[in-house]
Amino acid sequence: MKIEKNSAVTLHYKLSDVAGKVLERSEEPMTYLHGGYGNLFVKVEQALEGKTAGCQTTLELAAQDAFGERDESLVQVIPKSEFPPGVKVGGQLQAQGRDGRARMFSVAKIKGQSVMLDGNHPLAGKALRFSLTVTEVRPATDDEIAHGHAHGAHGHHHS
């Protein structure tokens, strides 16, 4: 069957930057509910619409169609003395953004006694290339449609 609204689609994916450097690849296939439920980027769903199992496709997304542009107001410099000992580049912590809401920040840089925190998604501001291989297409169940996500072996698991 073809991928259409309320299809449960199983696929393998590989995510690269536009220079071809692989950033992430699926270890196991994943299943998502197709049809604008916000499970995949809109442009990726558009590329998959009408495709069938066995189909392979590669597409490039501009940053604004993927994880968004970088927001430099999410970069904050904080004195090292305010951190527990052992703060490291690449570490993550939850902190309050300027809007007062909690969000995840990663330690981007440590220079002398200053620590630069970045609240942007690590892939924000990057154009990305998706290589997708569809392995299975089936109609979604009523439960899946009600929940807005796919269930089953490679889908969402409820605890």
Query: Site residues (CB under 5 A) for Zn ion?
Result: 147
Q: Output DSSP code: residue 147.
A: H
Closest distance to Zn ion from the beta carbon of 150 (Å): 8
Which residue, judged by CB position, is nearest to Zn ion in the bound state? Answer: 147
Distance CA 31, CA 33 (A): 7
Both structure tokens of 142: 């009523």
Nearer to Zn ion, 36 or 54 (CB): 36
Nearer to Zn ion, 121 or 147 (CB): 147
Closest distance to Zn ion from the beta carbon of 136 (Å): 18
Nearer to Zn ion, 31 or 120 (CB): 31
**CB–CB of 25/159 below 8 Å?**
no
Closest distance to Zn ion from the beta carbon of 158 (Å): 6
Run of H or E including 120: none
Both structure tokens of 69: 């542009």
